[in-house]
Amino acid sequence: MRVLLVEDERRLADLVKSGLADEGFAVDVAHDGAEGLWLAGEHDYDAIVLDVMLPRLNGYAVCRRLRDDGNWTPIMILTAKDGEYDEAEALDTGADDFLSKPFSYVVLLARLRALVRRGKAARPVALTVGDLVVDPAGLRCRRGEADIVLTPKEFAVLHALARRPGEVVSKADLLAQAWDFAYDGDPSIIEVYISALRRKIDAPFGRTSLVTVRGAGYRLES
């Protein structure tokens, strides 16, 4: 099993590499994010152990770029911070697991083995409607080469529409997919998010792809 370890603390990197080698892993080591990104793109690894605080390119950025490039090698992020927001950021950038420093080597080994057993996960399919791309894996959206920043709820509404391009999607369907079943507020809240989406995905690009079908719902056109 071949593992890439990206860690700038050389003493820690040497200790982890030595321990993993004793367990039968072949370990390549990079000491900065740029080198780690290059190695991950050049070689086929069973897993990547990636520190967050790295020179040149931090671990979150390395993970995000790998996922954007379609590299779905299992990634465990090591963070010196122990907090729910740091853990959430690790997962949101595409990591499969995280471990806070200082960590138990026994736990690291067990979780690394679990990642290797799990193998590479298939990337959720990005939805394309014309030149509009809606990527559920990274919760990202772009029009052509231009990234579009959406709130989580705006993304949920757009994703529901992009799953049925060219079809009319009712307010009831949008509510069912973007809100939980217990939502009993005003259905006109959908109109607020449709307006916000038009300002972001259409207006700056001179497009009118998000169409209102009176009395029926909304349609996303290419």
Q: Which domains, and CATH codes, for the chain?
A: 2-119 (3.40.50.2300), 127-220 (1.10.10.10)
Query: What are the helix and strand counts (H, E) for the chain?
Result: 8, 12
pLDDT of residue 85: 65
Q: Rounded distance, CA 46 to CA 50, Å?
A: 13
With 0.85 as the threshold, say if the pTM is over it. no
pLDDT of residue 24: 81
Sign, CA dihedral 87-9-69-3, equals negative
pLDDT of residue 162: 93
pLDDT of residue 98: 85
Alpha helices in the chain (DSSP H): 10-22, 33-42, 59-68, 84-92, 105-118, 152-162, 171-178, 189-197
pLDDT in tens, the chain (222 residues): 789 999 999 999 999 999 988 888 889 999 999 999 999 998 889 899 999 889 999 988 999 889 878 788 999 998 876 566 667 777 777 888 888 888 888 888 898 988 888 777 666 668 899 999 998 867 789 999 999 999 888 988 999 899 899 999 998 888 877 875 556 778 888 999 999 999 999 999 999 999 999 989 999 998
